[in-house]
A and B are shown apart, each in its own frame.
Chain A
Amino acid sequence: MKKTVIAMLLILLSLSPCFATGVKEEQPAKTASYKEEVVIGVQSKTSGTNPTSQTSVAHKILFNLTHNSLVGYDEKSKEIVPELAVEWKSSSDLKTWTFTLRNDVTFHNGQKFTADDVLYTAEYGRTASNATVKSFWTGLESIKAIDDTHVELVLKTANLDLLYLISNEYFAILNREAVVADATKGPDIGTGPYMNKEFYSGDYTLLERFDSYWGTLPAAKYLRFRYLPEGTARLAALENGEIDVCQAPNNTELDIIKANAELVLNTYQTTALTFLALNTEDPVLSDQNVRLAIAYAINIQDVIDGAASGFAGIANGMWGFFQYGYFDDWKSVGQSSYATNVETAKQYLAKSKYPQGATLKFTAASSWTVNALQIIQDQLKAINIKVEIEQVDAAGLSRKTTTGDYQAIIYSVTFTSAGSDSARIFTPGNSVNYARYNNARVNELFNLAGSDTNDTTRKAKYKEIQTIVHAECPYVPLYYANSGVAHSKKAEGAVYNTSGNHDYTYIKVAK
């Protein structure tokens, strides 16, 4: 009996390779001086290969490789660059946009790219599962193909930032024939330098070079994105050569990377702004003086040291430092930055309806934000503001912000470089306006700036918005966390962007 049981277990165990889901690793061609397959260890899971279905950075990295939009955005030069459209022009009222398309592009299924594919993408987008995508395409007044290489988009309202918006990977152009033939796999077909070969959610995504790509061909034949959620394990995989690139290593392990001569570490300040949103509809926090008292009582450097292991840069305003129209010269407008000053904080509190202090509940949705709140909780004791900390998960936090059932929350937002993107946190009706802020003048200025083609006056409008918001303090800007990418010193050619949307198109790893 015992022998039988042991034999059965041995058989089961020996069958395990049959269950293994990965592809058999192919040997790289001996003629190449670079590895045929480059492996990138990522910390975030991807849940699909349809570019119109997901908007997170983890997905955008992949869609940037498999698909093209009409235009792209170069984070280094901060400029819109041609992709499937070689040139574009807008009418003087910024409502009608005409794009001239490339005529040398083929999709991964061999179909030639034409204006009809843009029309189909719009048609498909109107029923997309992703609301951002659906909202844009349904919001168009009209779209028409002038001929095979010219498309005309007519907007309902003027939008100077249209090109920034459609440069996002989730506005990738799909192929009509592919999607009509297979609604599930069809959207995987793009015009990018790599094709989707295998996708195994929660394990890996394998891309294969598209040899008929319209641009310069990448060096690596395969790119494999391996999902390695645990930071230490991800770094170990890099150190022993299982992966070539390790995205977002743990801050506490950066010294290990620096000490390893075989590895290269790239660190950068991300564009994710972490802030404390103060609910302006709350009875206590509707008092501007209480909000300002909180802002001045917080020592941001201590928060960075405690919650981000010191790896972050102080944010000096609620407008991204990389965004169009950024302004932080507060002295020039008779204001000051929220640099820690407990005496100033006390003065603001004394002017408020709560001179003796107050008890507030702050909400967070992750362990690191709880750490930040614990430090803030301690700092606010100095001005007699007692803070209770409540932790919920992401969905719970979102429900609270929908219903307004909170006083203050700590959160991070990654803005695009367009100034208009800040409307998300400053104007009513937007999901990340966690301060529930509503200022008529600010709303008006965003509307005016959206169609203002004059650079100087447009920047002046954005400056005025920032000045008003800084004075009223619905948010306390905290920091921009640092992040990094570690890679083998044999790896080169990748472009690491501060938004985290890295470009691996031309990565290559010497053998």
Chain B
Amino acid sequence: MLRYAMKRLLLMIPVIIGVSFLIFFIMDLAPGDIVDLKLAEEGLTYEQTEQLREAYGLTGSVFTRYFSYMLNFLKGDLGTSNVSGRPVLDSFLEKMPATIVLACASIFVSIIISIPLGIYAAIKRGTFADNASMVLSFIGLSIPNFWLGLMLIIVVALNVSWLPTGGFTKGIASVILPAITVGTGLTATLARTTRSSMLDVLSQDYLRTERAKGHKEFKVIMKYALRNALIPIITIAGGQFAVTLGGAVLTETVFSWPGVGRLIVDAVNSRDVPMVVGCIILKSITIGIVVLIVDLLYAVIDPRIKAQYAKRKRKTA
């Protein structure tokens, strides 16, 4: 398993090279740069602009600049923001805790709603309850995040004053509304996956055997059926978690949540190339690690996958 993990980590190198070049190239294609923005904001004369471009390292071809950037990256230097003058890594790490908390809380909300809903729908397949559960999950998917966020603020924070309207200064109370907002969107996909995965498992013979052994239906479903249905659920949940780690821009905006998503969007709007490229490289690494952890979790959940890893190990030995 360690060998597999190492291999996957090594595969992240071409991913980082590809992603960073793509972002560098796209940012270069986008009209205007940070000097153009400063030109308008600071009332510069045109003569001052070339001097500034030189200072920001914006002269030369995109390939030269990319090569130079990657050389610094290999030395562990992700660059300095052209806007704030702070190291990109510092800015990213400053925002990451808020993003991790929101991602964890959102996926938690999503799981506690969607898995029971999906299981219930599968058990009651074809009934009104099944249809109602799926309609509910689709409603969750259809509601725009920003609208739901604003409604939650108006109802929960303003009308009944139970929770703060936003920010990340009041611990767990601050995270509840943003987590519900992001989690609601994730719930529909996860509930549907749970339902279909459970339906596949529920029709299998081994469950009939478990029932014949006299196990209670609840134990059959939760212990024997759900465990075998977990692989696709974890795949989807892991993917959703990884995406949320990349930032939930609209939710972050509505709730003034100081996360990575807004950091990147602000950097794109201000054409802060080092910040955009640096953050996306770090985001890619984070997502890669999360996906790897999810893959490794398969072995924990399913003994057959664990046995496969062990078999490969014996062969190579």
Is there an interface contact between A16 and B101, defined as CB atoms closer than 8 Å? yes
- A21→B170 CA distance, assembly (Å): 9
Selected A-B contacts with CB under 8 Å, 21 pairs: A2-B227, A12-B104, A19-B101, A20-B169, A20-B174, A21-B258, A203-B256, A227-B256, A228-B256, A232-B154, A233-B256, A236-B165, A240-B158, A394-B32, A394-B269, A395-B36, A395-B269, A397-B32, A398-B36, A400-B32, A430-B45
Is there an interface contact between B39 and A402, defined as CB atoms closer than 8 Å? yes
**Of B89-97, B120-128, B184-192, B280-288, which stretch is located at the interface?**
B89-97
Total contacts A-B at CB 8 Å: 186
**Of B69-77, B105-113, B198-206, which stretch is located at the interface?**
B105-113
Closest Cβ–Cβ distance, residue B22 to chain A (whole Å):
19
Taking CB atoms, residues of chain B closer than 8 Å to A236 are: 153-154, 157-158, 165
Determine whether B49 belongs to the interface, using a CB cutoff of 8 Å to chain A. Answer: yes
- A10→B300 CA distance, assembly (Å): 20
Determine whether B255 belongs to the interface, using a CB cutoff of 8 Å to chain A. Answer: yes
Taking CB atoms, residues of chain B closer than 8 Å to A132 are: 42-44
Closest 3 CB pairs of A and B: A22-B169, A395-B32, A17-B171
* Cross-interface CB contact of B39 among A135, A204, A392, A431, cutoff 8 Å: A431
**Closest residue on chain B to residue A20 by CB atoms:** B171
Determine whether A110 belongs to the interface, using a CB cutoff of 8 Å to chain B. Answer: no
**Closest residue on chain B to residue A24 by CB atoms:** B169
Determine whether B172 belongs to the interface, using a CB cutoff of 8 Å to chain A. Answer: yes
Determine whether B33 belongs to the interface, using a CB cutoff of 8 Å to chain A. Answer: yes
Determine whether B59 belongs to the interface, using a CB cutoff of 8 Å to chain A. Answer: no
Is there an interface contact between A21 and B97, defined as CB atoms closer than 8 Å? yes
Closest Cβ–Cβ distance, residue A261 to chain B (whole Å):
16
Size of A's binding interface in residues, CB under 8 A: 60
Closest Cβ–Cβ distance, residue A25 to chain B (whole Å):
8
Is there an interface contact between B40 and A431, defined as CB atoms closer than 8 Å? yes
Is there an interface contact between B165 and A399, defined as CB atoms closer than 8 Å? no
**Contacts of B252-267 to chain A: CB distance below 8 A:** 253-256, 258, 262-263, 266
Is there an interface contact between A204 and B167, defined as CB atoms closer than 8 Å? yes
- A424→B41 CA distance, assembly (Å): 12
Is there an interface contact between A396 and B31, defined as CB atoms closer than 8 Å? yes
Is there an interface contact between A21 and B169, defined as CB atoms closer than 8 Å? yes
Taking CB atoms, residues of chain A closer than 8 Å to B175 are: 13, 16
Is there an interface contact between B226 and A2, defined as CB atoms closer than 8 Å? yes
Determine whether B232 belongs to the interface, using a CB cutoff of 8 Å to chain A. Answer: no
Taking CB atoms, residues of chain A closer than 8 Å to B45 are: 135, 429-431
Q: With contacts A16-B105, A398-B37 known, what are 14 further pairs, Cβ within 8 A?
A: A16-B101, A20-B169, A21-B94, A131-B48, A132-B42, A201-B258, A203-B256, A229-B253, A230-B256, A392-B32, A393-B32, A394-B40, A395-B32, A398-B32
Closest Cβ–Cβ distance, residue B127 to chain A (whole Å):
25
Is there an interface contact between A201 and B84, defined as CB atoms closer than 8 Å? yes
- Interface residues, chain B, CB within 8 Å of chain A? 30-34, 36-49, 52, 83-85, 91, 94-95, 97-98, 100-101, 104-105, 107-108, 111, 146, 149-150, 153-154, 157-158, 161, 164-172, 174-175, 222, 226-227, 230, 253-256, 258, 262-263, 266, 269-271, 300-301
Interface secondary structure of B, over-half rule: helix
Is there an interface contact between A20 and B170, defined as CB atoms closer than 8 Å? yes
Is there an interface contact between A13 and B47, defined as CB atoms closer than 8 Å? no
Taking CB atoms, residues of chain A closer than 8 Å to B83 are: 47
Once A21-B97, A431-B44, A431-B45 are accepted as A-B contacts, the answer to whether A395 and B226 lie under 8 Å apart by CB is no
Taking CB atoms, residues of chain A closer than 8 Å to B39 are: 398, 402, 431
- A23→B44 CA distance, assembly (Å): 39
Is there an interface contact between A424 and B168, defined as CB atoms closer than 8 Å? no
Taking CB atoms, residues of chain A closer than 8 Å to B43 are: 132, 424, 430-432
Is there an interface contact between A230 and B167, defined as CB atoms closer than 8 Å? no
Determine whether A252 belongs to the interface, using a CB cutoff of 8 Å to chain B. Answer: no
Taking CB atoms, residues of chain B closer than 8 Å to A396 are: 30-32
Taking CB atoms, residues of chain A closer than 8 Å to B271 are: 395
- A129→B222 CA distance, assembly (Å): 62
Taking CB atoms, residues of chain A closer than 8 Å to B263 are: 202
- Interface residues, chain A, CB within 8 Å of chain B? 1-2, 9-10, 12-14, 16-17, 19-23, 25, 45, 47-48, 50, 53, 55-56, 129-132, 135, 200-204, 226-230, 232-233, 236-237, 239-240, 242, 392-402, 424, 429-432
Taking CB atoms, residues of chain B closer than 8 Å to A230 are: 146, 150, 253-254, 256
Which of A201, A232, A395, A430 has the most chain B CB atoms closer than 10 A to its own CB? A395
Closest Cβ–Cβ distance, residue B126 to chain A (whole Å):
26
Is there an interface contact between A19 and B49, defined as CB atoms closer than 8 Å? no
Closest Cβ–Cβ distance, residue B290 to chain A (whole Å):
13
Is there an interface contact between A233 and B166, defined as CB atoms closer than 8 Å? yes
Is there an interface contact between B168 and A20, defined as CB atoms closer than 8 Å? yes
Once A396-B32, A431-B46 are accepted as A-B contacts, the answer to whether A202 and B164 lie under 8 Å apart by CB is no
Is there an interface contact between A17 and B172, defined as CB atoms closer than 8 Å? yes
Once A55-B42, A201-B91 are accepted as A-B contacts, the answer to whether A240 and B161 lie under 8 Å apart by CB is yes
**Closest residue on chain A to residue B85 by CB atoms:** A129
Closest Cβ–Cβ distance, residue B136 to chain A (whole Å):
22
Closest Cβ–Cβ distance, residue B234 to chain A (whole Å):
9
Closest Cβ–Cβ distance, residue B150 to chain A (whole Å):
5
Closest Cβ–Cβ distance, residue B37 to chain A (whole Å):
5
**Closest residue on chain B to residue A135 by CB atoms:** B48
**Closest residue on chain A to residue B161 by CB atoms:** A240
Closest Cβ–Cβ distance, residue B255 to chain A (whole Å):
7
Is there an interface contact between A131 and B108, defined as CB atoms closer than 8 Å? no
Which of A19, A56, A204, A226 has the most chain B CB atoms closer than 10 A to its own CB? A19
Is there an interface contact between A239 and B158, defined as CB atoms closer than 8 Å? yes
Once A19-B97, A131-B52, A402-B39 are accepted as A-B contacts, the answer to whether A45 and B33 lie under 8 Å apart by CB is no
- A401→B43 CA distance, assembly (Å): 13
Closest Cβ–Cβ distance, residue B106 to chain A (whole Å):
10
Taking CB atoms, residues of chain A closer than 8 Å to B153 are: 232-233, 236
Is there an interface contact between B44 and A131, defined as CB atoms closer than 8 Å? yes
* Cross-interface CB contact of B256 among A47, A229, A432, cutoff 8 Å: A229
Is there an interface contact between A1 and B104, defined as CB atoms closer than 8 Å? no
Once A16-B101, A395-B269 are accepted as A-B contacts, the answer to whether A233 and B40 lie under 8 Å apart by CB is no
